[in-house]
Amino acid sequence: MILKQVLYRQTAMPVIEKSLDAAMLRDKAIANNLANVQTPAYKRIDVSFEESLKKALDAKRPKGTKTDDRHMSVGKPEINEIMPMGYRAEDKTLPGEINNVDIDLEMAKMADNQLKFFFSTKFMSNYMDDFSDIIKGRIR
């Protein structure tokens, strides 16, 4: 169990897992936006994640130490601390007829999100294949 935890933390797996979480949440948000394209005054949902991931992966960013659970986190966050977050977009530049949902933009975002999801799953699959080969003593 300890070896599994060390291997997990010292690999790209947590980043891939978080990326898949973000892709799934973004897919739900886009589907919700498309379902409400004709709903008057509906405000589209967007997902923020990539900026938090950049901060967590930035090697130049200092790591802060939190000495009390009531303290605010400072510095570079840990990968397990970042979460994709849905929010209501207030973007007035997306002119829908009755709300701020632009069906063409949502469809483009869906295609982009599908590519990100495919890449993440393919990367995870290749990563697991490499681990399997290492465990079995095979070198590619």
Flag whether pLDDT at 3 surpasses 60: no
Strand partners of residue 47: 86
Give mean pLDDT, residues 113-122: 94
| Local structure of residue 125 (DSSP, 8 states) | H
DSSP state letter for 75: B
Residues β-bridged to residue 75: 63
pLDDT greater at residue 3 or residue 70: 70
H or E segment to which residue 46 belongs: strand 45-48
Decide if 20 contacts 28 (C-beta within 8 A): no
- Tell me if 66 is assigned to some domain: no
- Give the chain's domain count: 1
Residue 63 lies in a domain: no
Q: Which domain holds residue 33?
A: 2-49+84-136
130 within a domain of the structure (yes/no): yes
Instruction: Determine contact, residues 34/72, Cβ cutoff 8 Å.
Output: no
Put simply, whether the predicted model's pTM sits higher than 0.85 gets the answer no
Within a domain: 67? no
What pLDDT score was predicted for residue 34? 95
How many angstroms separate the CA atoms of 40 and 57, rounded? 40
Report the C-alpha gap between 82 and 16 in whole angstroms. Answer: 12
